[in-house]
Amino acid sequence: MKGWKGIWVFIEQEEGCIAEVSFELLTAARLLSRKMGLAEVSAVFLGHKIRELSDEILIYGADRVFRADHPSLEKYLTLPYTRVISELISEKRPEIFLFPATSLGADLAARVAARVNTGLSAHCTQLDINDRGELMQVVPAFGGKVMATILCPQHRPQMATIRPGVCRRGEPQKKKGTIEDVPVEIRPEDRKQRVVEVHWAKKPAQTIEEAEVVVAGGAGIGNQEDWKLVEQLADVLHGAIGGTRPPLDEGWISEEQMIGQSGKTIRPKLYIGIGISGVIQHVVGIQDAQMIIAINNDPKAAIFQNADLGVVADFRKIIPLLIEELKKLSKDKPVP
Ligand SMILES: Cc1cc2nc3c(=O)[nH]c(=O)nc-3n(C[C@H](O)[C@H](O)[C@H](O)COP(=O)(O)OP(=O)(O)OC[C@H]3O[C@@H](n4cnc5c(N)ncnc54)[C@H](O)[C@@H]3O)c2cc1C
């Protein structure tokens, strides 16, 4: 589309630390750039006292850094970040804008897309350029059974959030790009939000490779709300949470929690698989578990062939009962 050019990457930064996924997106942008006749790759970097971090962005693939450094941008807030970025888009007109599919990136990208009146593909696992020069945004759909390719032919920029882990950080290059400081004007309407307190999520106490108990969920869980049952069961058993590919695609688990052929191989004393069909790509990752318990409402599910104990049931009915019983047990003695 005429007048729109270049690829932008949003650089996620908190507490003076750039998120790894930002460097991964710079790699993705460089690959797209080659397919677009070496389109310029620019990084959009917001925060406060972030000057020293900017060089790192140039070293890992940006030709230009648009840097907005202002006290009001120190902690992430949707409204001021949206204001700065959407005004920058209107002025510079990038053709493509990539955001990390993190909670911050997803929140910001949706707001920015609405503000500049364009589309947004969320949680892309692959990007490419078609022969018309459009961004092909590949998103797993229907629990990973279909890979949908989304185009945004009529609006610019073409915007997408990309899952962490889709690309790797590139090799550091000799710094040769430029930094452009963006003037920041915060208006009263951008100050409706404020950060009261920040609570950092605890890192999982144990990884699925080292845990003695792993509770894994699959596509059968169906939604984020019901995923809490998987978490509660893992909690009461002092176990780690894992899953199949669909929960990863849905963003319920991280890359480190996927079990199977392209994920982790685990050897726990106890594995409980809930709403998991038991295809070979998953089962290869659990066959060394000492005990496999499968909960599935389909008696013909393949997972039962690998299970020491199979429960044919709707997990929504059985898991709450199981949690209740385990809690009673742990009152008498702690569950190991
Ligand atoms: C090259 C390649 C590599 C792959 N690598 C991996 C990998 O490493 N790990 C991985 O997991 N997958 C991997 N996959 C994907 C894999 O092929 C399957 O698509 C995936 O494992 C299926 O996950 P699932 O069992 O959760 O979903 P599904 O196969 O959709 O199964 C869902 C199950 O939930 C049950 N269910 C539905 N509702 C309920 C309910 N209310 N109560 C109880 N049960 C219910 C259903 O009966 C069904 O059996 C890979 C695929 C490819 C092509």
Say whether pLDDT at 220 is over 80.
Answer: yes
Q: Is 301 in the pocket of ligand 1 (CB under 6 A)?
A: yes
In a domain, 203, yes or no: no
| Interval between CA 226 and ligand 1 midpoint (Å) | 16
Domain co-membership, 171 together with 35: yes
Atom 26 of ligand 1, nearest CA residue? 218
pLDDT of residue 210: 86
pLDDT of residue 183: 93
Mark which of 191, 222, 240 sits at the end of a domain.
191
Q: Is 314 in the pocket of ligand 1 (CB under 6 A)?
A: yes
Mean pLDDT over 309-318 rounds to 97
In a domain, 26, yes or no: yes
pLDDT of residue 149: 96
Domain co-membership, 154 together with 300: no
Name the strands in the sheet holding 270-274, side by side, starting at the edge strand that comes first in the sequence: 240-243, 213-217, 270-274, 291-296, 309-312
pLDDT digit string, tens, across residues 145-196: 678 999 999 999 999 999 776 788 999 988 889 999 999 988 999 889 889 9
pLDDT of residue 265: 83
Atom 38 of ligand 1, nearest CA residue? 220
Mark which of 129, 159, 191 sits at the end of a domain.
191
| Interval between CA 223 and ligand 1 midpoint (Å) | 14
Domain co-membership, 68 together with 137: yes
Structure tokens at 98: 């990539």
Q: Is 64 in the pocket of ligand 1 (CB under 6 A)?
A: no
Say whether pLDDT at 43 is over 80.
Answer: yes
In a domain, 258, yes or no: yes
| Interval between CA 276 and ligand 1 midpoint (Å) | 5
Evaluate whether 266 touches 289 at the Cβ level (below 8 Å): yes
Domain co-membership, 68 together with 159: yes
pLDDT of residue 167: 81
**Across-strand partners of 11?**
45
Q: Is 242 in the pocket of ligand 1 (CB under 6 A)?
A: no
Domain co-membership, 245 together with 185: no
Where does residue 230 rank: exposed (0-12), middle (13-18), buried (19+ CB within 10 A)?
buried
Mean pLDDT over 59-82 rounds to 95
Structure tokens at 61: 């693939």
Mean pLDDT over 278-306 rounds to 94
Report the relative pairing of strands 135-141 and 126-129 from DSSP bridges: antiparallel
Domain co-membership, 49 together with 178: yes
Atom 47 of ligand 1, nearest CA residue? 298
Domain co-membership, 21 together with 139: yes
Q: What are phi and psi of 317, to 5 degrees?
A: -90, -45
CA distance 122 to 101: 7
Domain co-membership, 218 together with 270: yes
Q: How many CB atoms sit inside 10 A of residue 207's CB? A: 15
Q: Is 220 in the pocket of ligand 1 (CB under 6 A)?
A: yes
Share of the chain above pLDDT 70, in %: 96
Mean pLDDT over 270-299 rounds to 95
In a domain, 204, yes or no: no
Distances (CA, A) of 284 to 260, 271, 272, 301, 323: 6, 13, 15, 16, 28
In a domain, 45, yes or no: yes
Say whether pLDDT at 291 is over 50.
Answer: yes
pLDDT of residue 144: 56
Atom 14 of ligand 1, nearest CA residue? 281
Reported as type and span, the H/E element at residue 317 is: helix 315-332
Q: Into how many domains does the chain fold?
A: 2
Reported as type and span, the H/E element at residue 47 is: strand 41-47
Domain co-membership, 260 together with 152: no
pLDDT of residue 333: 56
Residue scoring higher pLDDT (289 or 203): 289
Rounding to the nearest 10 degrees, give the CA dihedral for residues 319, 321, 327, 332.
-130
Say whether pLDDT at 336 is over 50.
Answer: no
Structural domain including 171 reads: 7-191
Where does residue 267 rank: exposed (0-12), middle (13-18), buried (19+ CB within 10 A)?
middle
In a domain, 224, yes or no: yes
pLDDT of residue 335: 46
In a domain, 208, yes or no: no
pLDDT range class, residue 19, cuts 50, 70, 90: very high
Evaluate whether 26 touches 43 at the Cβ level (below 8 Å): yes
CATH of the domain at 286: 3.40.50.1220
| Interval between CA 152 and ligand 1 midpoint (Å) | 30
Q: If you count them, how many residues does the chain have?
A: 336
Residue showing tokens 């982790």 = 264
Atom 50 of ligand 1, nearest CA residue? 281
Mark which of 160, 191, 222 sits at the end of a domain.
191
Q: Is 218 in the pocket of ligand 1 (CB under 6 A)?
A: yes
Domain co-membership, 28 together with 166: yes
CATH of the domain at 103: 3.40.50.620
**Across-strand partners of 259?**
264
Domain co-membership, 185 together with 218: no
In a domain, 155, yes or no: yes
Q: What are phi and psi of 138, to 5 degrees?
A: -95, 125
pLDDT digit string, tens, across residues 264-283: 888 899 999 999 999 988 99
Encode 280-296: b = buried (16+ Cβ within 10 Å), e = exposed.
eebbebbeebeebbbbb
Say whether pLDDT at 260 is over 90.
Answer: no
Looking from the CA of residue 263, the nearest atom of ligand 1 is 8
CA distance 128 to 144: 19
Structure tokens at 282: 């998953």
pLDDT range class, residue 299, cuts 50, 70, 90: very high
| Interval between CA 322 and ligand 1 midpoint (Å) | 23
Mean pLDDT over 91-118 rounds to 96
Domain co-membership, 180 together with 53: yes
